[in-house]
Structure 1
Amino acid sequence: MKRINKTLILLSGLVFATSSCKDSFTELGPYNRLSEAAIFDTPENVELAANGVYSQAAIGTYAGGAGRGYPFGAASIQQAEVRGEDVVNLEQFYQITYEATYSTTSANNTNHWDQLYNLINQANLFIEGVRGAESAGIITPEAANVYEGEARFLRALSHHELLLHFSLPYAEGANAGAYGVPYRDFGINSTETVERASTVDRGTVAGTYEKILADLDYAESVLPANSPINRAGKGAAIGLKTRIKLHLGDWAGVIAEGTKLGTDATGGTFTSPIGSYSLTASPDGPFTNYSNNTESIFSIANGQNSNPGTNGSLARMLGPAGPGGRGLVSTSPNLYNASFWVAGDLRRELLQVQDETGTYRHFFTKKYTDYTTQSDWAPILRYAEVLLNVSEAYARTGNTGQALLLLNAVRDRSVPADARFTSAPTDLIQAILNERRIEFAAEGRRWPDIHRLVLDPDYSTGGIPAKIKSGAWGGVFQNDGSDYGVGKPAIAAEIPAIPYSDYRFLWPINNTEVTTNPILANQQNPNY
């Protein structure tokens, strides 16, 4: 069981540090590692340990080395985008993911699994540590509850991320009994706990979702209503539940959770009674002031003093080469030119940028722009998503009026007045799904939607969509930017679609894990 011990490292993997900025939990300088006995011996050290857990969520490592952003940073967002069709992979960095040629030893899927379970283990050990500190009278029971709520939020978020890549979608119960992912809710820091972990199997998709929701229910019950954007609060737990229940097809549940955040308002303007969340006036608001805006419910922080490095930077990895990015992944012209993305939409002007000097004169996201210090925060959950989650749930249950109000709240801040919906479009659900593709471009939300909808009788892509082939690989897509323009025809997708029935729809559990863990070896995804 050496692999489990390696992947799910104990608290020595935490980044204990002093903060140079109270608003940023990962803008940290180095701090000496503490013995496990000393980690939770003062309230200040408990807080440092919490910072370390958030730091793992932000940065992770690549093959045990430099930060890459696998749990919830650049790598996870980029992979969730390149698994879909709304971006074009321009270089070899994510070609394996883009073309679905991954294997049990390929780096991206392997590191994503490893770093998510690393975060899960750190969260579990942190929970155990704060409960010990509570028992010793070092922190109050109320403080311990909040800390545990934060850790359980991150644990739930991590297990759901694993489900999205390694398990079949719940699909309103069609795959309820399929393999989930091992739900690890205890820390691994000894021979005994390593052996205990080796007995945890994948369970079922339904069972994994039950545990995710149990963690989020607990988090909601103890977390404060008002928290910094980079700290999980009550609104984050509730908002994540709207996402989880959307993936379950629990439309009534989505609506009920959304109501807690003000989505039942009937005037067309929405403000959450918890956390006072509301849409920013302009669609770029969450990205021009990522640490202090009304829309961001939960983001993973980065800062000048502990950025994730070039290969873990949102701006570097998703931005154009001219201003300082690497020009690796551009917006697909088939999204940029799509008829449902109407002319005059501010999101083209404010959140897309054409590279004027780099090799690829394509349009890239402009959501992340700090190419120097790489301090852009990773958006995990925004109020716009909550509104669109609930909008879809209302549309699915026949309440087109409320569904349209919620859709318009997000859409109308960006589109010209003459392009706004004054009545529900013929296919309201499709309009909501189209809006998600525009609104959340380059935020890692495309693959989750493909995954959850793949068995939907009306709105499925059928599997992994066909994709444009970069001109650098001999594709028809031109590198001079001439393929972009509202109303231009679609570019031929030369990389073939992969049907849902194909084993490549799921990632494999990595080779080292299955060769050292007999339970997971017998529960590997098919054909790997």
Structure 2
Amino acid sequence: MKKIIKHINIRNSVAFMMIGLTLTVSSCKKFTDLVPNNSFAEEEAFTTPDRVAQAVTGVYSAAQAGAYTDGTNRGYPFGAANTEQQDARGEDVIAVPSFYLITYETTNATNSPNGTAMWETLYALINRANVVIEGVQGAAAKNVITADLAKQYEGEARFLRALAHHELLIHFARPYGHTAGATHPGVPYRTLPVNTPERVTQNNNQGRNTVKDCYDKILEDLNYAESNLPPTYSSASLKITHATRGAAIAIKTRIYLHMNNWAKVVEEGNKIVSLTAPFKSTVGSYELASSPDAAFAQNYGTNESIFSIENNTNRNSGTNGAISTMYSKAPGRGLIAISPIIWNAPFWKANDLRRTLLANSDASSTVAARAYFSNKYRDPATFTDANPIIRYSEVLLNLAEALSRTNSLDLRALALLNAVRNRAITNVADQYTIANFATPNSLVQAILDERRIEFLAEGHRWGDIHRLATDATFTTGGIPAKVSFAGTTFASWNASTPYTGARSVVAIPYADYRFVWPIPLSETTNNPTLKAQQNPTW
């Protein structure tokens, strides 16, 4: 009897491959795929080149929209939710009641929807990637597709598998530097599809790999992707929304930064960043846009965008999850505001163009302003803003940080920092020279400060808090204290005066068990191994 693969059940991370018109979850609510197609029997899914291509598209579909715990599309894991949840874990935004308060105030439980949905949809994505990897290998063996095309498709799937495992690590595990050799518990690194009863059993008993083992496997996947992905695609949108050689290298600079492996950040960064300004890339033709808002004004249409997740009018996270409606003032819902902690920070110059081009207040002719909101995502009506996973500016700042950590005051590091910063700081007197820095650490601090400004509302702050938590010089000490929206007035936002108001959402020390999320109850109920390996105290 043929087994028709039409459903993906994300409960317990036991997810079966779906290549079909709808992605159906246990609640029976449905939403359409990016590319609608027919449902195939599993053994037929990789029998023609077209079906193989559709299967690969399905992996991107799973990255854009798994299902929230109520079965709806809220952009989990990478359509929007990774950005929203990571930002809400940090102090540079404010959760405007009520969507993100659990994340913002770190009042998680083992059955909290935010953590549960991230875990389940990330592993659903991983499983779909694993099904495709196995499927394209079989298709190549049967001469359905060429060996080279099979390797490209596998590279795309392994790129997304690596991205998903890293997202799991920064939420559910302590950072790489927590123990010598990173021997502490990471997450289960899953490389086999769960598509037989035997594999279901194996999945439901798999334990946690060490953090080191997870990072080694992430790099193995990304190295394979780099070796087998094309440098670009002919379609303008595909070269941003599908994995490329440059995207694999770019993500590796991020991974090595989390490992504190500065030499490898430099090695990878040098593959796609020229030695001198204006720092154009020979791989993927990446370059900074002349204006700090161009990558957002043109959605994903500039050479600054390296990899983004597509949202479109037919498949998006809607009013309850879309990145535009969450971050934007009316007609968006404005549920994530910019915090006065970062808005008033002395290192963020009052004349920085990002204050006017990429942020605005919610004042109108009839309503007084209550806060400042991001203006990076500009389609709160039809929710088509792409979710930027990595931009070229991040690669430049990753490389700048690594250079400044390994050398004396490094002129190339300064030039990389200035390349990003000076397109927003046009007053020459406010632009950095080497004389502004007395020590290498002061340059590192400037780079870290720049990251907070440049990537505000892009979901990067938690990643930096996480990786720096064990840094002897630059640690935040844990989760910083935050501002409660109820305790602010519009006067709280003042670019000329550091914020001195109340931070009533108290800081959480790194040693506190709440620094990491618990493995969800939906997983530990069915996996006795992970139940015994739950993060302490949860």
- State the Cα deviation string for residues 427-472 of structure 1 (Å, max 9, x = none): 100000000000000000000000000111111110000000112x
Name the CA shift for 1:33/1:172 in 2 (closer, same or farther; >3 Å): same
Q: Is contact 1:15–1:55 with CA below 8 Å preserved after alignment?
A: no
2:69 alignment partner in structure 1: 63
Residue 385 of structure 2 is matched in structure 1 by 376
Where does residue 482 of structure 1 map in the other structure? 491
Q: CA distance change for structure 1 residues 133 and 360 in 2, over 3 Å: closer, same or farther?
A: farther
- Does the 8 A contact of 2:172 with 2:187 survive in 1? yes
> Contact between 1:242 and 1:389, CA under 8 Å: does it hold in 2?
yes
Query: Are 2:198 and 1:192 equivalent residues in the alignment?
Result: yes
The 3-state SS of whatever aligns with 1:306 is coil
Name the counterpart of 2:529: 519
Q: CA deviation at 1:298?
A: 0.4
Contact 2:288 2:303 in 1 (8 A): yes
1:311-322 equivalent positions in 2, closer than 5 A:
311-320=320-329, 322=330
| Deviation of the 1:175 alpha carbon | 6.4
1:349-390 CA-partner distances (Å, limit 9, x unpaired): 110011114686211110101011100000001110000000
Q: How far is the alpha carbon of 1:4 from its aligned partner?
A: 7.8
Give aligned pairs, total. 509
Please give the per-residue CA displacement for 1:398-440, whole angstroms capped at 9, x wherever unaligned.
1511110111110111112221002252310000000000000
What do residues 256-304 of structure 1 show as CA deviations (whole Å, max 9, x unaligned)? Answer: 00010024x13x2101110010001111111111232111110000111
Cα distance change, pair 29–138 in 1 and its aligned pair in 2 (3 A): closer
- 2:306 corresponding residue in structure 1: 297
2:463 and 2:181 map into 1 onto residues whose CA distance is: 16
Superposed CA deviations along residues 291-319 of structure 1, whole A, max 9, x for unmatched, are 32111110000111222222221101111
Of the three residues 509, 512, 524, the one matched with 1:502 is: 512
% identity of equivalent residues: 49
Q: 1:439 aligns with which of 454, 465, 482?
A: 454
Match of 2:262 among 246, 251, 270: 251
Which residue number corresponds to residue 334 of structure 2?
Answer: 327
- The runs of 5 or more residues in structure 1 that have no matched partner are 18-25
2:432 — aligned with what? Answer: 421
Q: Give CA deviations for 1:102-148 in whole Å, capped at 9, x if unaligned.
A: 01011101110000000000000011111121122111111100000
1:147 aligns with 2:159: no
After TM superposition, list the pairs within 5 Å mapping 1:113-152 onto structure 2.
Answer: 113-152=119-158
Q: CA RMSD in A?
A: 1.9
DSSP-derived class of the 2:492 partner: coil
Answering whether residue 39 of structure 2 is matched by residue 33 of structure 1, we say yes
1:69 to partner: Cα distance: 1.2
Could you tell me how far apart the structure 1 residues matched to 2:251 and 2:222 are? 8
Which residues in structure 2 correspond to 1:257-276 (within 5 Å)? 257-263=268-274, 265-266=275-276, 268-276=277-285
Q: Distance in 1 between matches of 2:164 and 2:256?
A: 16
The question of whether the paired residues in 1 share the 8 Å contact of 2:12 and 2:523 is answered with no
Alignment partners' CA distance in 1, 2:474 and 2:400: 16
> SS of the counterpart of 1:485?
coil
- CA pair 248-6 structure 1, distance change in 2 beyond 3 A: closer
Equivalent position of 1:103 in the other structure: 109
Task: Please report how far the alpha carbon of residue 34 of structure 1 lies from its aligned counterpart in structure 2 after TM superposition.
Answer: 2.0
CA 1:109 to 1:6, structure 2 compared with 1: closer, same or farther past 3 Å? closer
Partner SS for 2:42 = coil
Cα distance in 2 between the residues matched to 1:64 and 1:135: 40
1:22 is matched with which residue? none
- The 10-residue stretch of structure 1 (307-316 or 234-243) with the greater mean CA deviation from structure 2: 307-316
TM-score (structure 1 length as normaliser): 0.93
Distance, in Å, in 1 between the alignment partners of 2:119 and 2:332 is 26
Is 1:72 the counterpart of 2:72? The answer is: no
Task: Pick from 419, 431, 441 the counterpart of residue 409 of structure 1.
Answer: 419
Could you tell me whether the CA contact under 8 Å between 1:90 and 1:328 is conserved in 2?
yes
Shift in alpha-carbon separation, 1:197–1:360, aligned structure 2, 3 A: farther
Cα distance in 1 between the residues matched to 2:211 and 2:532? 17
User: Corresponding residue for 2:29?
Assistant: none
Structure 2 counterpart SS, 1:30: coil
Does the Cα contact within 8 Å between 2:9 and 2:15 map onto a contact in 1? no
Matched, 1:280 2:271: no
Q: Cα distance, 1:488 vs. partner?
A: 2.3
Letter of the structure 2 residue corresponding to residue 523 of structure 1: Q
The CA distance in 2 between the partners of 1:360 and 1:125, in whole Å, is: 50
TM-score (norm 2): 0.91
Q: CA deviation at 1:254?
A: 0.2
Contact kept, 8 Å, 1:303 with 1:375, in 2: the verdict is yes
Tell me whether 1:354 sits opposite 2:361 in the alignment: yes
